[in-house]
Structure formats: structure tokens, C-alpha cells
Amino acid sequence: MTASIAYTAWFKAKETQALIAALEAARPNGSRFVGGCVRNTLMGREVDDIDVATQLTPDQVTEICAKAGFAAHPTGIEHGTVTVVINHRPFEVTTLRRDVSTDGRRATVAFTEKWDEDAERRDFRMNALYADASGAVHDPTSGGLEDVRAGRVIFIGDAHTRLREDYLRILRFFRFNAWYAKGPLDPHGLSACADLVAGLDTLSAERIWKEVKKLLAAPDPRAAWEGMTAIEARARALPEFSNETRLDALCSIEADLMLTPDPMTRIAAALADQDSARALARRLKLSNEERERLVAALGTDVKITSYMSLREMRRAIYRLGNQPFRDRVMLAWAGAGGEKAQQWRALVAHGQMWTPPKLPLTGDEVMAAGVPAGPKVGLVMREVEDWWIDADFPDDKLSVIERLKAVAQGMS
């Protein structure tokens, strides 16, 4: 079985060709593209990152790139990785490696010149595909090409061994199935994940959170998610997720209507309330922005219904903001079991199109109306703002000033 990626735009790009030419000039047949860029190209998917595996050492890569005028940064030098930047386009160039020892979280590696040794330390056969300078694809495991064509996620060699090397591969197994599988989960891989699921307890919060977000960004992760739940991987990694029914309904809505999924909305859907969102944020060390978004999505201070009028919708968006409003609409839609899709979808669309205006009133104008500086200025502004919201945000400065005068006079 043969394949080539020479036809693709990223492969033919001048930056890509300049890099591989420089590396090949130093050591012919010593560098190959590897991993996601090869896999995704063969599967007709978008390519985000370009990785290169090389028999050259990191020092040699750095020297070659300096002579060629490329920027080279030692971003993972202990593991043999140099990030090369050409015309603002980054490439990760990594020396071939073999594992010396592993503890289920990290590995000690040694450099090698053997392509099969480098392939053996990877997780899945579809991730161990290499493409040389001509674009020809090499398949050291003899199963990667078949897997990408069949849409199968199969561990390299013995699944238990691969998992003991890094227990994060349990979550990666489900994430890759969510993104790339065309059929059921590989039973041997699933069984190995079940046998070693306790290994998830050893992983750092940051690694778990990163994988969960990637998994839930897949167009339809339901089959993979069901597999996680069946072997209790979900319960171990994400004990705060208690609303499986709402998450499943949300995924169904997005898949049926081909809506672009947002992993943060899905995560909010799986949580019961704001307290569980805060608990998840603490345990998995979410950023402040991520925590605040989940908490806002699960708020109950503004009632969201499928039959909201445009005026009610605008009022809600003004109070909440566009993103929290969309999150709450999607959660309410999923909570309703996906019914009244046309009405909910219209709310989502209007919520994205309408930009909340700014109150056309300043503190200086309030004081010019006779209100003394101090707390009373804020009280008057809030009173005028409440009127302005109830009036559906009139773009009429004169009306706002007239209302200001009436409020100021009434408070004097």
C-alpha cells in the first residue's frame, strides 16, 4: 500500500520546501514529516502543525537553520525538539528518539537513528506515518496507512505497554476516536484502557484539562464519550460531570443541525450548576477566563425560553453579554430535549448578530444636570439606564437627557 502527500499546499509551500531542503542537504534521506500533518493530509483534514522527525541532532539542526537564515528556538531541547520559524511559519523539528524509561507520566529518551525505534515509542499507528522529501509516505508499523483509510484508532504493538508508558494515552484513545474513527472503538484498545484506567489518577490537572477540551471539540464525540463512561474513565477524570443527559442532547443538536461545536459550552452542559463549575475549575486549574465563562453559562438570574421576544432577547444580551447568552440558550435548548429547534436556532442567530449598545450618557453629563459628585451620580445613571433598557435601547440622545433631567429632579 503506497501513498504520497506531495500534492498538498502545505507540503509545496516555499517555507516547507526551504526547511526540508536545508536538512536534506546536511544529511540526505535523514528527515521526514511525521504525525498529524501526514495523518490529516491523508484523511482530508486540515493541517495545523507541521512536525519533522530527523536523524540530525538538535545542535546540528540549530546550526543548519542558522546558516540558512532561519530562526531556531530550543523549545524542547531535552527531548530533542527545536522549533524552526521561517517567514513566521513554525515547524517542530525533533531528533529520532527511543524511550529509555517511563513512569506513566513522562519518559526519559535517548536519540537514535532508527526510524522504527522512533515509530515504536508513539501511541497509535495512524500517528506513526512519515513522509520523505519527495512526499512518499512510509509506514514503519505496517498498519498506519490502513488505519487512516479505514478510520481506526489502533495502538502500536501492545496496548497495555503503550498505556503504561503514558497514562494520558487513555484519554488520547477516546479523543482520537472522537475525531477520526469511522466505526466502533477498537475492542483491544478499549479493554486495555479499562484495565489501566486507575492510571488517570496519576496525571496532572493541566494534561487532563487539555485533552478533555480537545475531545469535546470533535464534531460528534458521543461514541467516544460513551466508551469513556463505560470504563469509568469519565468518572475518574471528570467527577464533576453529572449532567450526561444534557451533554448528550447538546451533542445531538449540534450534529443534527451541523452547528459548530464549542467545547466550553459542552463542558457547561455536563455540569449541574455554578458550584460544580467552580469545583471543576479549582481541581483542573482552569484559567480565570474559563472559570468565569462556565459560571456565567450556568447562571439562572436571567430566564431563557424558546419564545423570547426580540426585545427580551436584547435585554438579556445586554445584561449577560453575547457569549454567556449563547451558552445559556444552547444549554436551555439541550435541557428542553432539542424541541422547537427553529425557535432556539433563531435565538442563537440573533444573539450573534446583535451588539449591545453603550448607554449614551456620561458621569459629566449627570453632574451637569445638577447631581453632585459622589455616589448619587451612579444611582442616577443606573436609574436612567433601567429606563433606557425598558425602552429597548433608543438611539436618541435628547430623550436620554430629558430622562436624566427628570430623574435628577426627582432625586433632588
Q: 131-183, pLDDT tens digit by residue?
A: 999 999 999 999 999 999 999 999 999 999 999 999 999 999 999 999 999 99
Q: What is the pLDDT of residue 103?
A: 63
Res 411: pLDDT: 77
- The CA distance from 311 to 198, in Å, is 51
What amino acid occupies position 44? G
Query: What was the pLDDT predicted at 196?
Result: 98
C-alpha neighbours within 13 Å on the C-beta side of residue 9? 5
Rounded Cα distance between 312 and 330, Å, is 17
Beta strands 51-54 and 89-95 are parallel
Residues 6+ apart with CB under 8 A from 22: 64, 65, 67, 68, 70
Mean pLDDT of 353-375: 93
The answer to whether the CB of 17 falls within 8 A of the CB of 159 is no
Extended beta strands in 23-96, E state:
31-34, 51-54, 71-76, 81-86, 89-95
Q: Is the pLDDT of residue 293 over 90?
A: yes
| Residue in the structure block whose three cell numbers are 455536563 | 270
User: Which domains can be identified in the chain, with CATH numbers?
Assistant: 1-150 (3.30.460.10), 157-238 (1.10.3090.10), 241-356 (no CATH), 363-411 (no CATH)
Q: Which pLDDT band holds residue 366 (cuts at 50, 70, 90)?
A: very high
Percent of the chain with pLDDT over 70: 98
Contacts of 90 by beta carbon, 8 Å cutoff, 6+ apart: 49, 50, 83, 84
pLDDT above 80 for 264: yes
Nearest Cα to Cα of residue 190 among 219, 151, 159:
159
pLDDT at 1 over 80: no
Residue 75 has a pLDDT of 85
- Whether the pLDDT of residue 193 is over 90: the answer is yes
For the ranges 13-22, 261-270, 296-305, 335-344, the lowest mean pLDDT is seen at 335-344
Mean pLDDT across 197-211: 96
Element (H, E) at 274: helix 274-284
pLDDT the model gives residue 360: 94
Q: What is the pLDDT of residue 106?
A: 65
Q: State the average pLDDT over residues 365-375.
A: 91
Report the chain's mean pLDDT, rounded to a whole number: 94
The rounded distance, in Å, linking the Cα atoms of 131 and 133 is 7
Does residue 259 surpass a pLDDT of 90?
no
Q: Are 266 and 216 in contact (CB under 8 A)?
A: yes
Can you tell me the mean pLDDT for 311-329? Answer: 96
Q: Is the pLDDT of residue 101 over 80?
A: no
Q: How far, in Å, CA of 240 to CA of 242, rounded?
A: 6
pLDDT tens digits, 120-130: 999 999 999 99
pLDDT at residue 274 greater than cutoff 70: yes
Among candidate residues 231, 128, 219, the one with its CA nearest the CA of residue 185: 231
Residue-wise over 24-54: b if at least 16 C-beta within 10 A, else e? bebeeebbbbbbbbbbbbbeeeebeebbbbb
Find out whether 365 and 401 touch, Cβ atoms under 8 Å: yes
Contacts of 276 (CB under 8 A, 6+ apart): 240, 242, 298
Nearest-angstrom CA–CA distance, 199 and 193 = 9
DSSP state of 137: E
Q: Cα–Cα distance between 112 and 56 in angstroms, integer?
A: 9
Q: What's the pLDDT score for residue 107? A: 66
The stretch 358-383 carries a mean pLDDT of: 93
Residue 301's pLDDT is what?
94
**What confidence score (pLDDT) does residue 104 get?**
61
Helices (H), 74-217: 115-120, 144-150, 159-165, 168-180, 187-195, 205-215
Please, what is the Cα angle at 386 between 381 and 388, to 5 degrees?
90
Question: In degrees rounded to 5, what are phi and psi of residue 150?
Answer: -90, -15
Q: What percent of the chain has pLDDT over 90?
A: 90
Contact present, 156 and 125 (Cβ < 8 Å):
yes
Confidence at residue 339, expressed as pLDDT on a 0 to 100 scale? 82
- Whether 105 has a pLDDT exceeding 70, the answer reads no
Instruction: Report whether 297 contacts 326 (CB < 8 A).
Output: no
Q: What is the mean pLDDT of residues 42-46?
A: 95
Asked whether residue 108 carries a pLDDT value surpassing 80, the answer given is no
Name the amino acid, one letter, at 325.
Answer: F
The backbone region for 337, taken as left when phi is positive above 0, alpha when psi lies in -120 to 50, beta otherwise, is: left
